[in-house]
A = this chain, B = another copy of it.
Amino acid sequence: MDVVHFTAGTTKNGVLERDFTLGEITGVLWSPAPGTDRAPLVLMGHGGGTHKRWPAMVGRAERLVHDGGFHVAVIDAPGHGGRPRTPYDEQEIAALFAARAAGEPEGPVVVRYNAQLAERAVPEWRATLDALQELPEIGTGGAVGYYGLNMATAIGVPFVADEPRVTAAVFGLHWPDVLAATAKRITVPIEFDMQWDDEHIPRDSALALFDAFASAEKSLHVNAGRHKELPRFEADSAVRFFVRHLGRTVTSQD
């Protein structure tokens, strides 16, 4: 089994931030200040075309550490964040730009490309979780959550469906075409984000994906606004969701 290699680290406002590699995977682990008790781990995925240090990732990670006391790991998806692109990646990215330029729907390209990325990314998440649980401050047997919207929902749904260590997940902003069948196998609590005026994902499609999850505890958060206008307070809501389901280890003032 590959092990996590930390390549750089800083501490800021009580949050320890460490870059790591795991074979070809590049990631960041945000953690409570050293010396705190073992804490739950939240695995967080970025959206299409971005990377592990995208501002939304950094902001969510800091909230999760600060307000929830969690460890938070983000890895670059295949073909993202400087990781090499395959000819297939290049072809699909070109197809996406062509659809945009032509004013055609992005959905068919995104759904197809993200499904292919998920096949490559799911084993990487599994390897990352294996390796992170070898760290003494995380350990095996601790609570694990998954947090990923957009492309990270396309990757996260198949990952969580077959990963019994993940016991709570935040998803959203994707289509049901490929994912609904897999979502039907997910029974852990979920929170699902949807934009009411999404210009890419029709309302019925988003509702159908939410509906597909077999979870007895599931919440849908709909907000007025377009695809990229998800309100920032949904990140706070996700933190509270994980605190409810994974537990809180660090007392904060939130």
B222 touches A210 (CB 8 A): yes
Residues on B with beta carbons closer than 8 Å to the beta carbon of A219:
221-224, 231
Q: Which of B216, B222, B253, B254 contacts A222 (CB 8 A)?
A: B222
Least Cβ distance of A236 to chain B in Å? 8
A233 contacts the other chain (CB 8 A): yes
Q: Which of B196, B211, B220, B233 contacts A244 (CB 8 A)?
A: B233
Please name the residue on chain B nearest to A253 by beta carbon. Answer: B253
Least Cβ distance of A237 to chain B in Å? 8
A218 contacts the other chain (CB 8 A): yes
Evaluate whether A222 and B224 lie within 8 angstroms (CB atoms) in the complex, with A233-B244, A244-B233 already known.
no
Please name the residue on chain B nearest to A233 by beta carbon. Answer: B244
Least Cβ distance of A176 to chain B in Å? 15
Q: Report Cα–Cα, A215/B244, bound state, in Å.
A: 30
- CB proximity to B under 8 Å, residues A153-183: none
A37 contacts the other chain (CB 8 A): no
Residues on B with beta carbons closer than 8 Å to the beta carbon of A223:
218-220
Residues on B with beta carbons closer than 8 Å to the beta carbon of A207:
207
B216 touches A224 (CB 8 A): yes
A199 contacts the other chain (CB 8 A): no
A217 contacts the other chain (CB 8 A): yes
Given A219-B224, A220-B223, A222-B222, 8 further pairs, Cβ under 8 A: A196-B211, A196-B218, A210-B222, A217-B224, A219-B223, A220-B222, A221-B222, A233-B244
